[in-house]
Amino acid sequence: GNSVTQMEGPVTLSEEAFLTINCTYTATGYPSLFWYVQYPGEGLQLLLKATKADDKGSNKGFEATYRKETTSFHLEKGSVQVSDSAVYFCALSDQGGNTPLVFGKGTRLSVIA
Amino acid sequence: KAGVTQTPRYLIKTRGQQVTLSCSPISGHRSVSWYQQTPGQGLQFLFEYFSETQRNKGNFPGRFSGRQFSNSRSEMNVSTLELGDSALYLCASSQDSNSLYNEQFFGPGTRLTVL
């Protein structure tokens, strides 16, 4: 079955540091890939997505590129802020528009001023 | 537009009891999905409803059930609660258009504690 593996946290960075959270997936066909963010006490928010190979999703300074050859979708940000502290989830869904999301375990990021 | 709302936000029950959680999707959204979030298992898909019919189902025991009403609001029920059912239950709604992917919008969740 489909699965997502992301780096275990927690990750602690100083403000303005470079962020990378690794994510790899196993899936048949050509899934859509996502990064979701969960702030304390809240639900999940879609951060960015990519629906085909070589697509780059970007939002709020975060980027991730769909790499089919390495089955990866690593999340990056050039300069993190304290407000980026949250839990980040990598996820995939099969093509088809209405298939369930399969999530990684989540990576907790703490940014220190 | 109002977001996805879930009630109640917090719930404490004892083993053996049953519980009903409610989810109101974003206006115009016809698909509602439920996920369970626990520290050990992470986020796992429970089921999805569309037009009052269950369209997808995850790998959970029959104690977990749900339904959807004609106004797209959805409820999930857990019977004979076990300690391991303690979790954050998240509801997500989507428009269900004919696009390749329908973005799912999540509610804040219901935190269920089973004692």
- Do the chains contact at A101 and B104, CB–CB below 8 Å? yes
Distance between CA atoms of A113 and B108, rounded to whole angstroms? 27
Chain A residues within an 8 Å CB radius of B35: 101, 103
Distance between CA atoms of B48 and B58, rounded to whole angstroms? 9
Distance, in angstroms, between A32 CA and closest chain B CA? 8
Chain B residues within an 8 Å CB radius of A108: none
Per-residue pLDDT at A95 exceeds 80: no
- C-alpha separations of B30 from A96, B49, B94 in Å: 16, 8, 7
Q: What pLDDT sits at residue A96?
A: 58
- Do the chains contact at A49 and B101, CB–CB below 8 Å? yes
Give pLDDT tens digits for B33-78.
Answer: 999 999 889 999 999 999 899 988 999 999 999 999 999 999 999 9
- Do the chains contact at A43 and B43, CB–CB below 8 Å? no
Q: What pLDDT sits at residue B101?
A: 64
Mean pLDDT of all residues in chain A?
Answer: 92
Per-residue pLDDT at A98 exceeds 80: no
pLDDT (average), residues A60-76: 97
- C-alpha separations of B5 from A75, B38, B46, B106, B110 in Å: 29, 20, 18, 9, 10
Query: What six digits make up the tokens of A87?
Result: 């839990």
- CA A104, A73, A102, A109 torsion: positive or negative? positive
At residue B100 the predicted structure's pLDDT band, cuts being 50, 70 and 90, is low
Chain B interface mutation, best of A32, A98, A107, A108, highest count of B Cβ atoms under 10 Å: A98
Per-residue pLDDT at A97 exceeds 60: no
Opening angle at CA A5, ends B65 and B34, nearest 5: 20
